[in-house]
Structure 1
Amino acid sequence: MKLTTVTYSLGVFLCSIGNLSVAAERVDFGREEYRENCLICHGEAGDGNGPYAHMLTKSASDLTKLARENRGVFPFTRVYEVIDGREMVQGHGTRDMPVWGSAYRVLSGEVMFEVPYNPELFVRSRILALIEYISRLQK
């Protein structure tokens, strides 16, 4: 009887672990970050045809062509600098999109004010998740 209880408990435990891993696989932080902050201008497919694209004075970039326009190499550093935006990127000209680095830093203070944390790590992790998703949009 004890063996049956142990076997049952082990089965329940393994099923719960299995369910957790399935749930964890469904979370795509980069995609969610994109949908929350970028989709409105860059569109669902990343092609620059978002719902607000027609209201912009300058067209939103086609994010699906970043690697192709950089001789087949995804321009990670440039994309990071443009998204972070706290430092002007030489040759970028005026700042046409929101400065997400500053926005994420403010958000980190709002959501993590009661616990010790590193705000730069919070900002970096959100930007990196977003860049990873954008890299998957490449055609």
Structure 2
Amino acid sequence: MRTLQAVLGLSMAIVLSGVTAAKAQDPFLGKQEFLQRCAVCHGAEGAGDGPVGELFAIKPRDLRTLARENGGTYPFARIYATIDGRDRIPGHGGPEMPIWGDFLEAEALVEDRGISPEDAQMIASARIIALTQYIGSLQLK
């Protein structure tokens, strides 16, 4: 019985991760996240010129140069970890800006009170993947 439960649980996780990945690849989702959560500091085009960013001692980065500064390769995993909150940088996770992974997970739980914490984590991860992909699309050539 435990084996059957484990197989069913693994199968469900695979199915849910496929749905999550499909939704995360939609650039519209990432753009909406960016405009709603990031543009106020990083600017609508990601140039680091958002209106609130001017108030901080540490200016927001120009997100369009991340690939250039990384030898021409967009550092997807590093950007994901920064947004998620596992890779702390000045300005992220301090009083100026929340750790988005925790915030998005809590928001998912509030939006749909019937989901589990694990599902909330998956929703937050999908939103961060979409956002990270969108930021990748902003890179200057």
Shared fold (TM-score, shorter chain, > 0.5): yes
Q: Which residue of 1 aligns with 2:22?
A: none
Change (3 A) 1:41 1:93: closer
What letter is aligned with 1:59? K
Q: Which residue of 2 aligns with 1:72?
A: 72
Kindly report which structure 2 residues correspond to 1:115-134, keeping only aligned pairs within 5 A, or say none: 115=115, 118-134=119-135
Give structure 2 stretches of 5+ with no counterpart: 1-25
What letter is aligned with 1:101? G
Structure 1 segments, 4+ long, off by >3 Å, are 92-97
Sequence identity percentage: 33
Give structure 1 stretches of 5+ with no counterpart: 1-25
Q: Which residue of 2 aligns with 1:83?
A: 83
The structural deviation recorded for 1:45 is 1.0
CA deviation vs aligned residue, 1:47-67 (integer Å, no higher than 9, x gap): 100011210110101100000
CA distance in 1 between counterparts of 2:62 and 2:102 reads 23
CA deviation vs aligned residue, 1:87-137 (integer Å, no higher than 9, x gap): 345xx4674542000001110110111245711110110001101110110
- Relative contact order (C-alpha < 8 Å, sep 6+): which is higher? 2
Alignment size in residue pairs:
111
CA distance in 2 between counterparts of 1:135 and 1:82 reads 14
1:130 partner SS: helix
Q: Which residue of 1 aligns with 2:15?
A: none
- Over the residues paired in the alignment, what is the CA RMSD in angstroms? 2.0
